[in-house]
Structure 1
Amino acid sequence: MNSIQIIDSLDVGGAERVAVNYANGLLGFVNSSHICVTRKEGPLKSSIEKQVGYVFLNKRSRLDISAILKLRKYITSKKINLIHAHSSSFFIAFLIKLTLPRIKIVWHDHYGKSEFLSSRPKFSLKIASIFFDQIFSVNQKLKQWSIDNLFCNKVDYIKNFPVLKNSNSDTTKIYGNEGKRIVCLANLREQKNHLQLLNAFKIVVEHYPDWTLHCVGKNFGDDYSKIFFKRIDALELKNNVFFYDSKKDILNILNQMDIAVLVSKSEGLPLALLEYGLSNLPVICTNVGDCGKLIPNITYGVLLDDDNATLIAKEIIGLIENKDFRQKISIAFNKKIIEEYSEEKILVDILNKYNLILKS
């Protein structure tokens, strides 16, 4: 088996990290493992193992003929027989299938707005799905959406798995007092709900002014990002909230944190939440996507049914004031992630599905 992961960019996002994790993780299990980046390289490129085959297309448009031909040539020269396309990269996989009909296509649906599926664009995806051999969905809502809306008969829910390794790059300098740091690992997007988190943290600071919030994720420089930084100023949180943009040394950062939060409006199965668990952090999270499967009860963390700022602040303060409880839930959550979301366990499942696809 020779497989290739296809992803649009190597920015530090959930789908991008999953694609890299699969390409790296499959080494030793398949004859050769490859990754194709269609549009934009980024920080995650340095995380790709040297043994993984790599091709960058520098695609400029949806129907960039030179990019399509470059990928086709790479696939034929490397004798690749299975494409695993992540998120919106399904379209170039579909175009390749039209020219190489014997190749198998797996589409991996990472759609982050699973609470708003009724407004999801689907025309081109519906057409392309005729040529999919398998769909992987990161939560049950997305699985059901594919069953109801697309033309692929094989649809399975596949768990994400976290991979945290020491980075060779310069380690990020973390501000604030040791033992009093809260982290939010999320790109600056509206669905990640940073503004409500800031509103909540303003309340926290009124009670505990020596605690700090550390936001790690890509700044897209858009209107939402501008509003985020203006809100920090308006709430007078400059000395308590720190933003680090995209970072590669996530393990280093999480090891210096004491509480982890994710108060998104919508999610699939957030990789950040899995990484919190792997890093042994106590977690506060909104009940969106499949977060409730990760935190089924208070034994494993705090699950919020509402993103009300007062409620978020109350739960953060509760963890600040009860260190023993923090330690108890972090141990239980860490154990759950290791037992149920391990790289090896999930890759074995993936390989079994790959083999069934190739035999069909």
Structure 2
Amino acid sequence: MGVVQLIDSLDAGGAEVLAVNIANALCNKGINAHLCATRKEGVLKTNLKENIGFLFLERKKSIDFSAIIRFKKYLKKNNIGIIHAHTTSYFFAVCVKLIYPKVKIFWHNHTGNYIKLKGFKFFIIKNISVFFDAIINVNEELNTWAIKRLKHKKSVKLDNFPQFINKSSTTKLFGKENKRIVILASLREVKNHVSLLKAFKLIHKKHPDWTLHIIGKDFKDKYSKKLNKFILEKELDKNVFFYGLCLDIEYILKQATIGVLSSKSEGLPISLLEYGLAKLPVVVTNVGECSKVIMNGESGIVVESENSLVLEKALEELINSEEKRKAYGGQHYKNVNKNYSQESFINQLVKIYTQ
């Protein structure tokens, strides 16, 4: 069985991390594993095992005939029968299937916002989905959407799994030890750093020695400028730090005290599971699968989204109690190891591929 993970880029995002993790795990299982980045390479390429086949297509547009033909040739040459397409790469996968019908497509839907699709975008994905052999969803809400709205005959829910591959110790966090709040989230509006910054502004007044650390790609766009403007206007620039894309996530989280996610929408965020591996207590908004990962009041605190006041209150609860931080972090670690293991994920995935 030859399987290729298909992804737009290898920048450090949740879907990209999972694509790399799956390729590595399939390789460990003795499966002919490959990964293809269609538009862009990225920092995560270094996390791929050496014996995994890698292809970079440098696709310039949605329908790039040269890239389609090169990918088809790669599939035939390497005896690959399965395309595991992540997020928006499903369109390119279908283009390839039109000229190479024998290949199977498994679409991995990571994006919680898909349930809100309307109009032309929904029309496109609904009609394209007939080419999918199965749809793999990261939470139950997306699975229900695929069954009821796309009316797909084979749609399954499969929980993500975390894994620390990179063992380097490069990124040194600023601020005082045991007083660091960290968020692993690229600077996208859906991640709602604005709400977190508003909450942190209130925390800063009471706890001026605590710091906030933002790990994730900065797209240097309007949203990024909005965040930086807020930080400067509220005089938080000595307590809020941006690090951009980082690979040494394990080392970063070892330096952190509290993990947080303030998103408006999610599927099942890898970062939330990574917080668990690092034994971090967390505050997370009640979106996507987050409230199923975190048992409120046992392994972390779950709050409503887009409410900076309740977010601030929850963070302060952990700031004020080292005992709770230790207890919640320990329980989160146990839950992640028990319910979100690599072995369970890969066994289920292989069954999906072969059924």
Q: TM-score, normalised by structure 1?
A: 0.95
Q: Could you tell which deviates more after superposition, 91-100 or 52-61?
A: 91-100
- Is 1:183–1:260's contact at 8 Å kept on the other side of the alignment? yes
SS at match of 1:122: helix
- Is 2:298–2:331's contact at 8 Å kept on the other side of the alignment? yes
Asked if residue 159 in structure 1 is aligned to residue 173 in structure 2, the reply is no
Which letter maps to 2:190? Q
Aligned partner of 1:73 in structure 2 is: 73
- Is 2:304–2:310's contact at 8 Å kept on the other side of the alignment? no
SS at match of 1:26: helix
Cα deviation, 1:45-75, whole Å, max 9, x if unaligned, reads: 1111111100000000111111001100000
Once the two structures are superposed, the pairs formed by residues 251-262 of structure 1 within 5 Å of their partners are 251-262=250-261
Asked if residue 14 in structure 1 is aligned to residue 3 in structure 2, the reply is no
Which letter maps to 1:66? S
Q: Could you tell which deviates more after superposition, 23-32 or 315-324?
A: 23-32
Q: Could you tell which deviates more after superposition, 145-154 or 84-93?
A: 145-154
Aligned partner of 1:265 in structure 2 is: 264
Which letter maps to 2:226? I
SS at match of 1:27: helix
- Is 2:115–2:145's contact at 8 Å kept on the other side of the alignment? no
Whole-Å separation in 2 of the counterparts to 1:346 and 1:108: 13
- Same amino acid, percent of matched pairs: 45
SS at match of 1:298: coil
- Is 1:267–1:289's contact at 8 Å kept on the other side of the alignment? yes
Which letter maps to 1:342? S
- Aligned-pair distance for 1:124? 2.3
- Aligned-pair distance for 1:355? 1.6
- Aligned-pair distance for 1:316? 1.1
Whole-Å separation in 1 of the counterparts to 2:163 and 2:300: 21
**CA shift in 2, pair 1:136/1:127, >3 Å:** same
Cα deviation, 1:268-310, whole Å, max 9, x if unaligned, reads: 1111101111110000001001111111331111000243222
**CA shift in 2, pair 1:98/1:167, >3 Å:** same
- Aligned-pair distance for 1:131? 1.1
Q: TM-score, normalised by structure 2?
A: 0.97
SS at match of 2:111: coil
SS at match of 2:279: coil
Aligned partner of 2:338 in structure 1 is: 339
Aligned partner of 1:204 in structure 2 is: 203
Whole-Å separation in 2 of the counterparts to 1:116 and 1:150: 13
**CA shift in 2, pair 1:237/1:155, >3 Å:** same
Q: Could you tell which deviates more after superposition, 141-150 or 153-162?
A: 141-150
Whole-Å separation in 1 of the counterparts to 2:147 and 2:228: 41
**CA shift in 2, pair 1:96/1:217, >3 Å:** same
SS at match of 1:89: helix
- Is 1:2–1:30's contact at 8 Å kept on the other side of the alignment? no
- Aligned-pair distance for 1:118? 5.2
- Aligned-pair distance for 1:149? 2.6
5+ long unaligned stretches in structure 2: none
Whole-Å separation in 1 of the counterparts to 2:317 and 2:27: 44
Which letter maps to 2:141? K
Once the two structures are superposed, the pairs formed by residues 155-304 of structure 1 within 5 Å of their partners are 155-168=155-168, 171-304=170-303
Which letter maps to 2:192? N
Aligned partner of 1:5 in structure 2 is: 5
**CA shift in 2, pair 1:144/1:296, >3 Å:** same
**CA shift in 2, pair 1:210/1:120, >3 Å:** farther
Which letter maps to 1:324? E
Once the two structures are superposed, the pairs formed by residues 95-134 of structure 1 within 5 Å of their partners are 95-113=95-113, 116-117=116-117, 121-134=121-134
- Is 2:112–2:142's contact at 8 Å kept on the other side of the alignment? no
RMSD: 1.4
Whole-Å separation in 1 of the counterparts to 2:22 and 2:211: 34
SS at match of 2:236: coil
- Aligned-pair distance for 1:24? 0.7
- Is 2:160–2:340's contact at 8 Å kept on the other side of the alignment? yes
Once the two structures are superposed, the pairs formed by residues 56-71 of structure 1 within 5 Å of their partners are 56-71=56-71
**CA shift in 2, pair 1:119/1:278, >3 Å:** farther
- Is 1:115–1:267's contact at 8 Å kept on the other side of the alignment? no
5+ long unaligned stretches in structure 1: none
Whole-Å separation in 1 of the counterparts to 2:115 and 2:180: 30
Aligned partner of 1:349 in structure 2 is: 348
SS at match of 1:244: strand
**CA shift in 2, pair 1:210/1:62, >3 Å:** same
Whole-Å separation in 1 of the counterparts to 2:182 and 2:118: 32
Whole-Å separation in 2 of the counterparts to 1:306 and 1:64: 39
- Aligned-pair distance for 1:121? 2.3
Cα deviation, 1:121-167, whole Å, max 9, x if unaligned, reads: 22222222111111001111111111123253100011010011343
Which letter maps to 1:268? G
Whole-Å separation in 2 of the counterparts to 1:330 and 1:117: 36
Which letter maps to 1:210? D
**CA shift in 2, pair 1:120/1:205, >3 Å:** farther
SS at match of 1:174: coil
- Is 1:147–1:153's contact at 8 Å kept on the other side of the alignment? yes
